[in-house]
Every structure is written in structure tokens, then in C-alpha cells.
Structure 1
Amino acid sequence: MSIHVMTLSHFVGLKKVLDAVQMEIDPHQKVALVGKNGSGKSTLLKLIAGELTPDAGTVQTMGKVAVVQQLPPDLHITLTDHLTPPALRQAREHLEAAESLLADPTEENLSLYAKAEEVFRELGGWDFSQRMEQLLSELGLPERQLLSQLSGGQLRRVMLARVMLENADIYLLDEPTNHLDVQGKKTLVQWIRDSSATMVLASHDRAFMDQVATRTLVLERGHLTAFAGGYSKAMQQKQELETAQMRDHQAQSRKVDALTQEVQALKSSARSSNTFNHKRAGNQALIMAKNKAEYAGNQADKQARAMERRVERLREQMPDKPYQDRQQLVIPESLPTQYPNDLVRLEGLDTFCTHNIHLTLKKGMRVALLGENGSGKSTLLKALQSSNPAVLIGSHVKVYFCGQHHEELQQHKTMLDALLYSNPKLKLAEVYNILGHLDLPRDPRMEIAGLSGGERTRLSLACLSVTDAHLLLLDEPTNHLDIQSIEALEDFLLAFGGGMVFASHDQRLVEKVATHTLTLQGQGHVLVDR
């Protein structure tokens, strides 16, 4: 139930994502793993699981390891068949075969049955169906459907359910809260808390990590730093540590600078003394005056060399300057400063999932759509973009939509097309500035089809951050974002002068940004002023 990682290094292509990483996780610990997108979190989990071979170092795990699969290998089976572990299915077949032999209750047949029953019991077979049904109900998953008939979000919950039903000693979960609604997260949190297994949770969900993590590992520039407690407590410790490191670094730097200036002064004195001026000798004998000057110069030079050695030792002992990530969102000054007061009004809007919605959205209102998966949040956002007569968009109000899978980018060919659609006033220099700060390809005319998943995410964020729209419609805007980007997004949304409607399962985002919440409940809805 423990994990030991020793001097682990690994390359992805030419990039060294892990550099002599050391990590020990004791039994029963629930460890959060955080870091920017591309920092190597998923790679580290695959190395621990044995799916990858490290370029250097070793990984040792004590106990059975379970991981969340990316996609089920066979989509043409039922949900219950997929969730039943192969070992348990085989144990059930052996038990049924042994049970059929009990018609002839010989000592051999009784022994076969006892052994088969013991294996089945140890695998949790007797209560497996009950546990599976309860878990499927809590996660809102249909029992009898084929996997091919499920949505992407439902498949993600299926993969999570598969892991939760396994009897493992170590669980490795990569973004386990993605696509989970409030009830799904509640089920996951309770399962983690109740489990005695060791868990490593790579996540960007801050509230979730605060709820379950007993320890937090921060992966940054290939190095791993451990902090006690959940995410918030770890970030506070990290900030205090970096502040202390910066203070020590600056104090040592000031000392080095002062001594360096003193060295320069001594060297200048030595040069001056060694350049004998007979006019300064006065009534002294010239030879005596010259010797005296040379002695003073030699002493100053000796002191300078000794002090230089001291400066060199101080430089070697200099505390490292804390790493400061300079990458941040750049919002050009060409954003609109005037927003109309009335943005949109819903007068009895009906959708497939909700009925008779009345809502008036004014400037400054930030409405969070809440509700379980399938309650109609995405459907309502689509309706707000439609020509439905119950949706009354204000005069000259520009609407910008940002989808959870970056659907807004599909209509554009190049990055420049997408950015200029978001804000036609952008200057080319501003476009280059945005691409540079978000680590996007430097050619604005590069086609979006050639971008990686992470680059599409950053481009979507860039388009949102520069839009000149008055009304924002956001569907799960924090999906695929790392914590740094989520916090930058929060700052932008709080500073945005127009209005917005956004659907999100990110509890912290809702708490920090929303001025109102609209909870969709079956055929009803509840608007709450926060």
C-alpha cells in the first residue's frame, strides 16, 4: 500500500519532464498531485502504474494498483458487464461450476466448492451487485445500456466507477472530478474518505483536493515538492516558503553587492598606489616614498583578492531565487468600456429539460447555472444563442459563447481568424503578444487543426480574454485548464464589465465569481441572489 520513487527521471520527446524525482507515500495517505498542464502529472502516474518505463531511477509499489482507464476497450458491451472485474467474473464461473458438483457431495467436491467460495468472497463477490447498483444510482448511470450509447461525460463516470468497485491497495486517479456533478463529487469524496487504500489524485479541482487530500505534491519544472494538507494549506505553505527564500536570496545578494563594491574600491586604491607620482612625495626621499606607495598598493591588492574569494564563497552559498512564472493572460486595452444595462431577457423559455424560465440579465450580473448532469444547463446556454422568440437579446448586444470542448473554434481556420472574431479591433502586435504569453505557436496564421489539445485550450482562453462582447455564455469554462489558468480566468471574469451566464461544477469558481445562481431542477428552476 506504499509507493517509493527514487531519483526518477523521464523524457517526453526531447523535454525532460521529471528530473531526479524523489517521493515516498505511506499506506492510507490521500495525496493530491498538482502542476501546470504539461508538467508531467499524467506521466508520473503512468510510471507509478508501470505503464511507462523510466529513463532513470526506480518505482516500487507495494500492493495492487488500480488506475482510471482513458477509454473502455470494448464499447459494445453493457455497463454492468464492463464494471464486473474479469477476476470476479472468472471466480463466479468457478463457484457456479463447483456448486453444480454438490449434487454429489463427495469430500473432493466439497473441498472444490469451499476453495471457490473463498476466492469469490475475498474478491467481494457476495455484495458486488449491491455495491454496483448503489454506485450507479449515485453516479446517475443506467445499468443496462451499451457503453456505445453513453455520452463522453457518462463514459468518464463509468471509468471512475470501474476503479471504485475494484479491491485495490493503491488508486491512481487522473482528473477524477471531470464531468462529475455535485452528487457525483459527493459520492467520490465519501468513497475516498471511507477507503483505507493509498491514493494519488492528479486534479485541478481545488475544493475537491481540500476535502480529501492529507498531503499535496507540487510538480514544477521537473521537480516535486511536498506540503502537508490539502491544496489551500499547501499553497499557503508554498507562498511562505518562497517569501522566506526570496528574503534570504535578496539579503545575500545585497551582501555580495556591497563586498563587490568594496573589492572594486580596493583594486582602484591598489592601482593608484602602484602608480608613483614624485610630486606627491614632498620633502620625503623619493625611494622611501615610492616603497611606501608600493607597499600600500600591495596590501590593497592582497585585501581585494581575499575579499574576492569571500565573494565567490558567498555566491556559491547563495540561496536559489524562487521560480516565478511570468506567463499570464494579456488583455489588450481595446476592450469595450461601455456596456448596455439590459443584456437579455427570458420570457417563459421552454427547453427539452426545463419549463417556463423567466430571467432578466443586466450589466454586472454573473449567473451560475447549477444542477445535476442532464438537468439542462448546456441546453439552456444553446437556447440563449438561438432565435427562440422567448429569448430577447438587447439592442446592439454582442454575445460570445465558449464551449466546454472549444466548439467556438470549429468555425475558424487559423488562430488569427479566431482572435479577430472575438475582437475585430485587435492589432497584429497585440496578437503576437497574446500568442507569446500563452505559449502558443508564434505564427498567427497557423491552422487550428494543427494545434495540440493543450494549445486549443489556451487559444480558447485567449479568445475569451480579449473579446469585445457584452454577454458571455460559458459552458464548463474550467474544463482542461490547470489551476494557474483557472485563477487567471477568475480574475478576468471578476473584472469583466458586461454580464455572463456560465455552467460549472467548479465549486470555487462559482463561490468566487457568481452574483446569482440559477439551479435547474427537473421541470423547475430557482434563481438566487448571492
Structure 2
Amino acid sequence: MFRIDRLTLAEGEKIGVIGQNGAGKSTLLGIMAGKVQPEEGYVSRYCKFSSITQLDSLEDIRQMVNPVVGRQFATRRNYTDFMSGGERTRYKIAAALSEESSLLFADEPSANLDIKGTALLQSKLQQFAGALVVVSHDRELLDAVCTGIWELEDGEVKVYRGNYTSYCRQKETEQKRREREYENYIQEKNQLEVAIVDRKSRSASTRKTPKRMGNSEARLHKMGDQKAKANLNKAVKSLESRLDKLAIKEKPKESLAVAFDFANTGGLYSKVVVRGEKISKKFGNRVIFEAAEFSLLKGQKVALLGDNGCGKTTLLNMIDKREASIYVSAKARIGYFRQGMDDLELNKSVLDNIMATTIYEEGIIRNLLAQLLFRREDVFKQACILSGGERTRVGLAKIIASEANVLFLDEPTNYLDLPSVEALETVLSAYQGTMLFVSHDRQFIDKVATHLMIIESGKLSLLQGNYSQYINHQNDAKNNKTQEEQIILDYRLSEVLSRLSVAKEKEKVAQLEREYHELLARTRQ
């Protein structure tokens, strides 16, 4: 799968491991943690370590969760078999952080976490005092936490300093350098080949001695011609030697520009595509929505946000089923990508699966597939041999290339590696139609969404802007509230001091002093 001559992790380093699905990221972490034995070589560890694994089995976790950490991640102190996927993830994180080790291995720790949970995890990893090796597809986490990136590519590990954004800049610089080197190589190779052909042609066309020429003149002519021919042949050998010694440069992989034409985003004439009025929904005693209302307008790309279990997928299903409390435009043709969706015909190729349901010509579909990283012969892969991430990309391509003019996407980035997520971002950013999607990937939301729909306490609220703008607005509101509270505290302190200056009764003075010290303590919090 991969070969590593030498790889070291220093104290306090925080490393993000990235690479395409199947590159061996989880295997690398397993080898480093001693849970997977390498075919060759060895690993030396010099400190206590803990692990956050992707596997559902938690038999290896014996550590009870620290009560403080457990409360922060809303999990129990002990593992139970009845935990949901999100609860299992939070428990594994809390258990690993409770061990207080000097080294932490984390394999996709943000999987199954909502945005709040991911933000808390990010904060904890930033605060972690030891060394960290984390596999993650969350670019914001990799940017905020990592001091270095290990990239698994073509069976090798490449080491980069800095966070994920820094890695991207370095990769871009490398790509440009390789392109320049390849261009220079091709130019020099062509020049040498042309020069060799020219010298050989001139050598072959060296004139023979004319028949009427005398013997003396013929000898002189022959000597001059033979000397010129020898020089030309010598030049040919020198050029051929240079050509043989010329370092071969492989042609770099080409970056594909966005060129997919979303021709089927029209057909909607009403401004309101979907509207919900007095939506109510509950499962048993658990209320999901209570008299909630919303409108999805034509052309909006809306990210549906909320805590795990708040009803994001439930709302998508209610709209898709056209439940009584929901209006859907008669011209709306909804393409719905569901979590775990897998309706591919396994005996057919990637291309044939999409051509069976698309309204586009094959050339346009192959262009779309290329943008989703199915290039050249990849489009002829049988669906039965595709990985989970590849099946997700084919499912997304089927929805995008269908007759749908409204897209519903439920966690479309699940099972995708970083190149696939970024490719999907590029395609959906170019989409001009109406979209409602669920995602916990903060950068994906920033790149794609024009609006946010927040689910909170059974209600729905629509906000313009992306996730970063929403967070900035929340922080500004929090800061303003803090400033207002500080002004009120300062005013009350001044008032208490004024009353203290004129108070004469001992009990009154003692009461005012207690109040003064309580207010003073609050101002220092």
C-alpha cells in the first residue's frame, strides 16, 4: 500500500494525515499505534498514547470518562451498547482525552458530530498539550489545529510544514514548478532531436568527388569533405549523448477547469419553490417541529443547520413527501440525495449508470464525471467494484445530471476524501438552481451556501450569508451583550460606592460592601 523509509513525530507536533480514499491513512495510524503490524520495518514509541478510532468496537477502551470531559461532550462515563453513532463518537473522544496521554492518534474524530461537536473537538485538540496525528476531512479543523501535513500519495508519505491551507499553497507551487520543468524538458528534447536530424542530413548529403576532377584536386576535395563529414558525425554523437543524458520529466497531471453547463436549472417560474406553514412533527413524546414556518425561494442555496437529532433529515423527507403542511411548486422537480443512498446498478459501469437516467449527452456527462474525479478509463469501472466514496460521487452525479431543477442533498460529503469534497464544491458552486442541503463541513457550507436555515427549539429561521458570516454575527452579538453587561455592572458599582460613602449604619455598610465585592468579582470574570 505504501513504503516509508523514515518518519518521525516530535514532541508537541500536530500532524494532519491526508490522501485519497484507499491510500492507507487509517492503516498508517494503526501501524503507529501498534494495532497493525507492518510487513517490514518497525515503529518506536517513547510515551503513553491514546487513540480515537473509526471502528465501532470499543473493547479496547477501559478508561472511564472524566466527568468534566464527559459533560462537555454530553456523554456517559461508561460505554453502553445502546449508543447512537454520534454518542459513540463523543464517548470515544471523551475517553481518549480522559487518559491524559502525551500522544493522541485520531482517525476521523469528527465523523457523526454536528457542527457544535466539531467546534468543541477542534478546541480540545488545539488545547491538547501532547503530540497529535489526526486523519480528517474537515479542512477548518486541519487549518486550526495542525502544524504539519503528511500526504499519502502514490505509496509514499510527503511531509509539509504548516496547516492545510499552507499545504495547498505548497502543492500549487510544486505543480507550477513541475509544469515549467516539463515544458523546458520538452523544448530542449525537441531542439536536440531537430539538431540531430539536421546534422545527419548534412552528413549524408556531403558531395562526392566530381568525375572530371584531377587526382590532386580530387584528393584535396575528398579530404575536405571527409573532414566535414567527420565533424558532422561527431556532432551527431555529441547531440545523441546529450539527448540520452537528458533527465526525463513526467508530464504533470492536468488541473481540470469547471466547464459543466447546468442547463436544466430552469422551468421554475414561481418565486417560492417550497413553503412550510405551521409544521408540527413529533416522535412519541419528542417534539421535532412545533408550528414552524419557512420559505425556500428560487435560486437560493440553503444549508440546513442544527444539532444532531433536531430534524434536518426529517424536514427533507417531509418536503419530498409533500406533507400537508408543506407547499411545493408544481414545476419543481426534486433530485434527492439521501444518506446511505445506493441505487446503482452494480453490473453497469459508472458512465452507463448515469446515462440511464440523464437528460444530457454523453460528452457533457463525461465532462461532469471528470470534474468529480472520474477521468478517462475510470468512467468504465463497474459499480460493483467502487469504494464508498466513489459510489457517493456517482450518486451525486446522477442527481446533478437528472431532470431535477431543485437539489436536496443530505450529507453529500460523507465518505468523500478531500480532493472529492473540493471537486464537489466546485461543481455545486457553479450550479445556478435551487438547493437545500445538510452538511457538517463548515468550509463546504461557506463555499456553496447563499443562505442558512437554522433549526432550534422546534422552529426554523432563514438567514442570508454563509457559515462564517453567521458565526461572526453571533460573536459580535455576544461581544455587544458582554459590553452592555459591563456597562451595567460599572454603573451598579458606582451606585454602590456612592451609597457606601454616605451610609452610617454598620449593617447597611456591611451589606453594601458584600454587594460591592460580588459586583467586583463579576467584572473580573
* TM-score w.r.t. length of structure 1: 0.77
**Which of 289, 292, 298 is the aligned partner of 2:224?**
292
Give the whole-Å Cα distance in 2 for the aligned partners of 1:422 and 1:374: 35
C-alpha distance after superposition, 1:61-99 (max 9, x if no partner): 222232223445479xxxxxx9652xxxxxxxxxxxxxx
Give the whole-Å Cα distance in 2 for the aligned partners of 1:413 and 1:253: 43
**Which of 71, 75, 80 is the aligned partner of 1:137?**
71
Matched, 1:369 2:304: yes
Give the whole-Å Cα distance in 2 for the aligned partners of 1:83 and 1:213: 26
Give the whole-Å Cα distance in 1 for the aligned partners of 2:386 and 2:243: 49
Match of 2:486 in 1: none
Match of 1:218 in 2: 151
Match of 1:268 in 2: 201
Question: Greater CA deviation, 204-213 or 36-45?
Answer: 36-45
Match of 1:108 in 2: none
Amino acid at match of 1:224: V
C-alpha distance after superposition, 1:169-207 (max 9, x if no partner): 221111111121222122212221222211111111111
Match of 1:120 in 2: none
Match of 2:39 in 1: 55
Give the whole-Å Cα distance in 1 for the aligned partners of 2:291 and 2:189: 72
Q: 1:224 to 1:282 in 2, by over 3 A?
A: farther
Amino acid at match of 2:53: Q
Matched, 1:304 2:242: no
Amino acid at match of 1:338: G
Amino acid at match of 1:340: L
Matched, 1:500 2:500: no
Report the alpha carbon displacement of residue 443 of structure 1 after superposing the two structures with TM.
Answer: 6.3
Secondary structure of 1:404's aligned partner? coil
Q: Is the 8 A contact 1:357 1:525 kept in 2?
A: yes
Q: Is the 8 A contact 2:355 2:362 kept in 1?
A: no
Any stretches of 5+ residues in structure 2 without a counterpart? Answer: 283-287, 466-525
Give the whole-Å Cα distance in 1 for the aligned partners of 2:214 and 2:316: 95
Q: Is the 8 A contact 1:215 1:226 kept in 2?
A: yes
Matched length: 453
Q: Is the 8 A contact 1:45 1:172 kept in 2?
A: yes
Amino acid at match of 1:46: G
Report the alpha carbon displacement of residue 312 of structure 1 after superposing the two structures with TM.
Answer: 2.3
Secondary structure of 1:172's aligned partner? strand
Amino acid at match of 2:27: T
Match of 1:189 in 2: 122
Q: Is the 8 A contact 2:73 2:117 kept in 1?
A: yes
Matched, 1:346 2:237: no
Matched, 1:400 2:335: yes
Match of 2:313 in 1: 378
Report the alpha carbon displacement of residue 31 of structure 1 after superposing the two structures with TM.
Answer: 0.4
Q: Is the 8 A contact 1:367 1:500 kept in 2?
A: yes
**Which of 214, 232, 242 is the aligned partner of 2:165?**
232
Secondary structure of 1:61's aligned partner? coil
Q: 1:217 to 1:413 in 2, by over 3 A?
A: closer
C-alpha distance after superposition, 1:307-328 (max 9, x if no partner): 2222322x23x5x447426789
**Which of 463, 480, 495 is the aligned partner of 2:415?**
480
Amino acid at match of 2:434: G
**Which of 151, 156, 160 is the aligned partner of 2:93?**
160
Give the whole-Å Cα distance in 1 for the aligned partners of 2:237 and 2:312: 73
Match of 2:48 in 1: 64
Secondary structure of 2:264's aligned partner? coil
Match of 1:90 in 2: none
Amino acid at match of 1:249: Y
Match of 1:12 in 2: none
Give the whole-Å Cα distance in 1 for the aligned partners of 2:212 and 2:6: 67
Q: Is the 8 A contact 2:23 2:152 kept in 1?
A: yes
Match of 1:171 in 2: 104
Matched, 1:28 2:12: yes
Match of 1:423 in 2: 357
Q: Is the 8 A contact 1:192 1:212 kept in 2?
A: yes
Amino acid at match of 2:228: A
Matched, 1:336 2:271: no
**Which of 250, 253, 260 is the aligned partner of 1:324?**
253
CA-atom RMSD in angstroms: 3.2
C-alpha distance after superposition, 1:246-299 (max 9, x if no partner): 2233224322322332222112222222x5252797998223212211111011
* TM-score w.r.t. length of structure 2: 0.77
Secondary structure of 2:2's aligned partner? strand
Report the alpha carbon displacement of residue 154 of structure 1 after superposing the two structures with TM.
Answer: 2.1
Q: Is the 8 A contact 1:34 1:218 kept in 2?
A: yes
Q: Is the 8 A contact 1:367 1:517 kept in 2?
A: yes
Amino acid at match of 1:391: I
Question: Greater CA deviation, 247-256 or 477-486?
Answer: 247-256
Secondary structure of 2:111's aligned partner? coil
Q: Is the 8 A contact 1:227 1:234 kept in 2?
A: yes
Report the alpha carbon displacement of residue 330 of structure 1 after superposing the two structures with TM.
Answer: 9.0
Q: 1:423 to 1:498 in 2, by over 3 A?
A: farther
Any stretches of 5+ residues in structure 1 without a counterpart? Answer: 1-16, 76-81, 86-127
Give the whole-Å Cα distance in 2 for the aligned partners of 1:164 and 1:220: 30
